[in-house]
Amino acid sequence: MNPTLPPPGWAVDPLLQAIADRCTAWLQGRDLGVEDICLGHPVSWAIVRDGQGRRGLGAALTPIGESNDRDGLFAGLSQDWRDWPLSALPARLLARHPLERCIALAAINAVSQYRLGWENLAPVEPGERGEREAGQGGGRASVVRWVAAQTPQRLVMIGNMQPLVAGLREFGIVPMVFERHASNRCGALNDAQEWAWLPHADGLIATGATLVNHTLAPLVAWTGAARFRILVGFSAQTHPAFLAGLGLTHVFSVHVDDVDGIRRRLQLGHWNAMFESETPYLARLADKTPGLL
């Protein structure tokens, strides 16, 4: 038995299970492998490559400080990631250890980025792609405008994403913000209080990091009255087809065109470079699961 996964009979996260299963199914029969993996601070990443040299870079926020226990980390895999089969990584999104889930999400996002490039961003409606707005945080302004156009009265934001908070306030929208990490709280509320506010929300913006900390499923369940539920950020690079039918309405993220350039910047901790130089997008998600193969 893999000690990083729950024992038989224990509940698992059906939302994350669906994402992992869809990614694994899409990989079947495809010539795609791992080129690079890094467990970084504050962002981890993975790069995948096919036999023709086409690549995809996926990122995920590293859950710093959530676990100092290394027992069972990447159990069943070689200590050299170059030996890891890509198909073995998506299922580890359900692992107990947060760092293992982080690497799994980065790998799923890398596959998603590769697929979006291979599809020429076809799942993203051209009218909803973010503009590269120099000096304005890249395409973040586009998602702020979209949210403002929905005129939410009780907007909840999970994760203290200060550029989005500031942008929304310029439109007169003051979201109720919740943040897990005290070092990034800066006026936001502790995420332990989310349950009391979410049932009354008419809009939800959730960081993609909720895919790592196993909180997205209850967030979706608690926001039944919300008119929209958007997953945002570089951790939200997951392909729209992998997210379809899971309760979200939109995903806002960024497609990495310059894989080598962004990798070098991430190696120095410059994660904001993705939104400044790459291709942000806002994609509407299907209500039902589309065909994946």
Quote the mean pLDDT of the chain.
89
Q: Mind listing the pLDDT tens digit for each residue in 86-120?
A: 999 999 999 988 999 999 999 999 999 999 999 98
C-alpha torsion angle, residues 202, 239, 41, 147 (rounded to 10): -30
pLDDT of residue 155: 98
Mean pLDDT (whole number) for 187-202: 93
Determine the pLDDT at residue 142.
Answer: 82
Neighbours of 173 (CB within 10 A): 18
The confidence score (pLDDT) of residue 83 equals: 94
Question: Rounded distance, CA 52 to CA 56, Å?
Answer: 12
Q: What is the pLDDT of residues 251-264, one digit of tens each?
A: 999 999 999 999 99
pLDDT of residue 274: 81
DSSP β-bridge partners for residue 178: 158, 189
The whole-number pLDDT of residue 122 equals: 82
Strand-by-strand arrangement of the 229-232 sheet: 189-190, 176-179, 155-158, 203-207, 229-232, 250-255, 279-284
Euclidean distance between CA atoms 69 and 114, whole angstroms: 32
Q: 203: part of which helix (H) or strand (E)? A: strand 203-207
**This prediction's pTM:** 0.92
pLDDT of residue 4 exceeding 60, the answer is no
Check residue 1 and give its pLDDT: 42
Q: Report residue 261 as tokens.
A: 């350039």
Which tokens hold the place of 56? Answer: 């995809």
The residue that leads in pLDDT, 29 or 184, is 29
Mean pLDDT lowest among 52-56, 242-246, 270-274: 270-274
The whole-number pLDDT of residue 201 equals 98
The predicted pLDDT at position 11 comes to 59
Report the alpha-carbon distance of residue 99 to residue 92 in Å, rounded: 10
Q: Which domains does the chain have, with CATH numbers?
A: 14-118 (3.30.390.100), 126-284 (3.40.50.11590)
* Concatenated DSSP letters of 126-160: GGGBPP--TTTTTTHHHHHHHHHHT--SSEEEES-
Check whether 286 has a pLDDT greater than 80.
yes
pLDDT attached to residue 173: 97
Task: Name which of 128-137, 193-202, 229-238 the model is least confident about.
Answer: 128-137
Dihedral angle, C-alpha 94, 97, 98, 102, nearest 10 °? -60
Whole-number pLDDT of residue 116? 96
The pLDDT > 70 percentage for the chain reads 88
Task: Write down the pLDDT at residue 120.
Answer: 87
Kindly tell me if the per-residue pLDDT of 133 is higher than 50.
Answer: no
**110 three-class SS:** helix
